[in-house]
Structure 1
Amino acid sequence: MRPFPVTLEMATSPMHDPSHPDGGTPLNSASQPAAPGSGPPSEGMRSGEDARGAAPDHGPPVIVGIGASAGGIPAVQELLGNLPADIGMGFVVVQHLAPDHDSALTDILQQQTPLIVRTAGEGVPVQAGHVYVIPPDRSLTIRGGILHLEDRDQPHTRRNPADRFLNALARDQGNRAVGVVLSGSGSDGTLGVKAIKTGGGITFAQDEASAEHPDMPRSAVRSGQVDFVCPPREIAANLARIAGHPYLWSHWPEQTPLSEEALNRVLRLLRKHTGHDFSDYKTSTIKRRIQRRMSLNQIKQLDSYVRLLKAQGDEVERLFQDLLINVTGFFRDPESFEALKHAVFPAITPDGEAERTLRIWVPGCSTGEEAYSVAIALLEYLGDDWLRTPIQIFATDIDKEALDRARTAIYPESVVSQLSAERLSRFFVRVPGGYQVHENVRNLCIFAPQDMVQDPPFSRLDLICCRNVLIYMDPVLQNRCLNIFHFALAPHGFLMLGSAETVGTDSDLFAMVDQTSKIYSKRAVRTPMPTISGGAGHPSAPEATERPPSPENLERRLHREATDHLLADYAPPSVVVDTGMNILTFLGETGPYIAPSPGRASRNLYKMAHRDLQAPLRKALTDAMAAEQEVCEGNVRMRRDGDLHYLSLRVRPLRSDPGKGHFLVIFDRPDHPVPPAPVRLGEQPEGEQDRWITELEHELATTREQMQSIINEQVTTNEELQTANEEVQSANEELQSTNEELESAKEELQSTNEELSTVNRELENRNQDLSEANGDLHNLLRSIDLAILMVTEDLRIRRFTPRAKELLNLIDADTGRPLTDIRPNVELPDLAQMIRDVLDMVGPKCLEVRDHGGNWYALTVRPYKTEENRITGAVLIFSDISDFKTDPQQVRRLAAVAREAVPAIVLADLTGRILAWNRGAHEHFGFTEAEAAERSLWGLVPPDDHQAARALLERLRQGERVSSYTARRLTKQGEILSVWGSAIPLRDPTGQVYAASLMERDIAALQDYPVPSRNRP
Structure 2
Amino acid sequence: MNNTDPIPDFSLPTLDTLPTISSVVGIGASAGGLKAIEDLFSKLPVNTGMTFIVVQHLSPDFKSLMDEILARFTTMRIVNTENGTTLDPNTIYLIPPNKNLAVEDGHFVTTDMDRDQIQRPVDLLFQSIAKCFGSNAFAVILSGTGSDGAIGIRDVYENGGITYAQIPETAQFDGMPKNAITTECVTHILSPADIALSLSEHANHPENRTTVDPLTTEELSGIRLVFSLLSERHSIDFSGYKESTVARRLDRRIHSRNCKGIQQYAELLRTDKAEIDALYHDLLIGVTKFFRDTEAFFSLQARINRLVSQLAPDEEFRIWVAGCASGEEAYTMAMIGVEAFARRGLPPNLKVLATDAHQGALDRASRGLFSAESLEFVSRQRQSQFFTQVSKTQYRITPETRRHIVFAKHNLIEDPPFTKIHVVTCRNMLIYFKPPAQNAAIASLHFSLEKDGLMMLGSSETPAKLQDEFETVDNTWRIYRKLRSLPLAIKSYEQLRAVEQAPRRLVNILNRDQPEQLSFTGLLEAYDLLLGEFVDCGLLLDEQRNVLHVFGDASRYLQNTSGRFSGNLLRMLEGEARTTLGAALVRSARDVQSKIVIRNVPFEIAGEIVDTDVTVRVLHSTVAAAFVWFIEFGSPITSSDTVETEVRVSRPGDQYDALEAELTFAKESLSASIEELETSNEELQSTNEELIASNEELQSTNQELHSVNEELYSVNAENHRKITELQEVTEDIENLLSSTDIGTLFVDENLFIRRFTPAATRYFNLVDHDIGRSLSSFTHTMDLPDLNDRIHSVLNTGKNFVREVSTDQGDRVMLRVVPYMSGAERKGAIVNILDIRTLRDDADSDGQC
Sort the TM-score into its range (normalised by shorter chain): 0.3 to 0.5
Answer 1 or 2: higher relative contact order, Cα 8 Å, separation at least 6.
Answer: 2
TM-score (norm 1): 0.39
Give the helix-richer structure, 1 or 2: 2
TM-score (norm 2): 0.46
